[in-house]
Amino acid sequence: MPRLRRFALVRTGNAAEADDMVQATLMRAWERRSQFEDGTNLVAWLFTILRNTHLNQRKRLRREVEDVDGAFAGALSSAPDQEHRMALFELQAALDDLPVEQRETLLLVTVDGLRHEDAAAILGCQVGTVNSRVSRARERLAIALGLS
């Protein structure tokens, strides 16, 4: 569940929405457990359900107003008081600046530890696409964080 929640957070950017999405994913998986094929990757199956759940929710909520410029969210935050928090914010900002496809792919492979083949199945793309997205995301992060 932590891996699903992390992936949901990447997709939504909102902890409450992510929790709801994980719950919906687990409910759908339970309801459709007879469709799971023995010998296949359960984690990849759950990630696929989560991704499809998110895409379906986005279709339904297209008319919802977002805090695009972050003005409302910015008013709610407090200044960081520790050095590691600043580094975490810098990393999060660099991740947020990545294209969605690169961010999703990078986190599936590096944080969740999925094989490139499993990530490709979840994202509905070729393994080579996963390889290039991860490589480009790493390069962009290194540049953004001043490591390259």
What is the average pLDDT score of the chain? 86
**C-beta atoms surrounding 105 within 10 Å:** 28
Dihedral Cα 40, 121, 16, 24, nearest 10 deg: -50
pLDDT of residue 142: 92
For residue 80 the two structure tokens come to: 């960081």
> Does the CA dihedral 106-97-94-80 come out positive or negative?
negative
Coil vs helix vs strand at 66: coil
pLDDT of residue 40: 87
For the cut 90, the answer to whether the pLDDT of residue 130 exceeds it is yes
For residue 11 the two structure tokens come to: 């997709």
Contacts (Cβ under 8 Å, ≥6 apart) of 45: 29, 36
pLDDT of residue 56: 82
Report field, pTM of the whole predicted structure over 0.85: no
Looking at the chain, the whole-number percentage of residues with pLDDT higher than 90 is 39
Question: Could you read off the pLDDT of 32-84 as tens digits, one per residue?
Answer: 888 888 888 888 889 999 988 888 877 776 665 566 676 666 666 665 567 77
The CA distances from residue 80 to 51, 71, 136, in Å, are 32, 17, 30
**C-beta atoms surrounding 120 within 10 Å:** 22
DSSP string, 82-148: SHHHHHHHHHHHHHHHS-HHHHHHHIIIIIS---HHHHHHHHTS-HHHHHHHHHHHHHHHHHHTT--
Higher pLDDT, 67 or 119: 119
